Amino acid sequence: MPLSWDRVKTLVVLAETRSFSAAARKLGVSQPCVSRQIRQLEAELGTALVIRDAHRVNLTTAGRRLTEKLTAPFQSLEALWQETCEIPAKVHGPLSVGCLPEIGQSLFFDALLEFTRRHPALTLEVDYAESAWILERLRKGELQFGLLGFAPPSELLRSHRLLEERSALVTRKANRKALARRIGDSEPLPFVAYRSRDLLLHHYLKQFGTQLGVRKIEEKVIVNAHRSMIDALLSDDFYAIMPTHRIQDLLERGELVRAAEPVLKSSIYLVYHEANEWTPRDSAFKTYLLKEWKKKTC
């Protein structure tokens, strides 16, 4: 039975780090992805390879024997793979990418254009859509890559963490001191929301609402673009949860201010279908985002 390269790599890195979370960070994938790869490898071999402990991962006898035999060949193959990847290959054909609208427009579109400038024979197709639509197209093979705000718990979709996004509770400068006065009021705080279900707003209040003493809110304005959220914030005494990279210039000029200290941290992931036929185009794009572009933004 042929072994999966990704599963072998995951086992070797896990044996080195002895931690699922540390292995995930080193591999650039989500922790559930590491766990899934190990479970699948154990199922293929018909034996347990690791002992899962609350504090540290230990290898079984079979796991130790396997990693001892695999580590040196794996390192040699990985070095050969890197050398091969450095040989220029013709990058051409269509590249289809699905992005969440605001993430794509504010964070990634310039990077996608830069990639096409480097590879003139490439045709770029970008779809701005919601997560469910992107996931469905990835599963069907109708998109090569997706840029999402979470790592999908799917057996066939691989996820690599690209960057951390920070979001804050903001308001206009004239309303800066109002939050402290209004905490605990019976009147709900007026918010500008992103679409009918603002996930950033929901997660922020779930994590920090009690700490800040926010009892009730009212979504007074609901829009589907960050630009419209900014316009609403500047026009009245509203609040909103917004990614700080999207409003950095307004914060620096003092037009918008943070109304509270807590910052919500979330991650952006590069997602693709594991079973898709891999091409030089796909390898070049993945390498560009994970190594080169990621370094510029971190």
Other Cβ atoms within 10 Å of 153 Cβ, number: 11
CB-based contact 146:99 (threshold 8 Å): yes
List pLDDT tens digits, range 243-264.
998 899 999 999 999 988 999 9
What local confidence, expressed as pLDDT, does residue 136 receive?
93
Q: Where in the chain is the domain with CATH 1.10.10.10?
A: 5-85
The pLDDT value recorded for residue 91 is 83
The residues, ordered by sequence, that sit 6+ positions from 292 with a Cβ below 8 Å of its Cβ are: none
58: which 2 tokens? Answer: 């230990």
According to DSSP, the residues that pair with 240 across neighbouring strands are 170
Task: Give me the CATH topology for the region 93-164+268-297.
Answer: D-Maltodextrin-Binding Protein; domain 2 (3.40.190)
Reading the block at residue 208, the tokens are: 């920090």
Confidence of residue 188 (pLDDT cuts 50, 70, 90): confident
3-state helix, strand, coil in the chain (%, to 5): 50, 25, 25
Cα distances (Å, whole numbers) of residue 53 to 36, 42, 57, 203? 16, 17, 6, 30
Whole-number mean pLDDT of the chain? 84
What would be the CATH architecture of the domain defined by 5-85? Orthogonal Bundle (1.10)
Q: How confident is the model at residue 82 (pLDDT cuts 50, 70, 90)?
A: low
Position 70 confidence tier, pLDDT thresholds 50, 70, 90: confident
**252 vs 257: CA distance, rounded Å:** 9
Question: Nearest CA to 97 among 293, 297, 298?
Answer: 293
Instruction: Identify the pLDDT of residue 87.
Output: 47
Average pLDDT over residues 215-236: 93
Residues of the chain with CATH 3.40.190.10: 93-164+268-297, 167-261
Q: How confident is the model at residue 275 (pLDDT cuts 50, 70, 90)?
A: low
DSSP letter assigned to residue 153: -
- Kindly indicate whether the domain formed by 167-261 is annotated with CATH number 3.40.190.10: yes
b/e 2-15 (16+ beta carbons within 10 angstroms → b): eeeebbbbbbbbbb
- What confidence score (pLDDT) does residue 51 get? 87
Whether 298 has a pLDDT exceeding 50, the answer reads no
**Could you give the 3-state DSSP secondary structure of residue 210?**
helix
The predicted-structure confidence for 26-69, as pLDDT tens digits, reads as follows 877 778 888 888 888 888 888 888 888 767 888 888 888 888 88
Position 180 scores a pLDDT of: 61
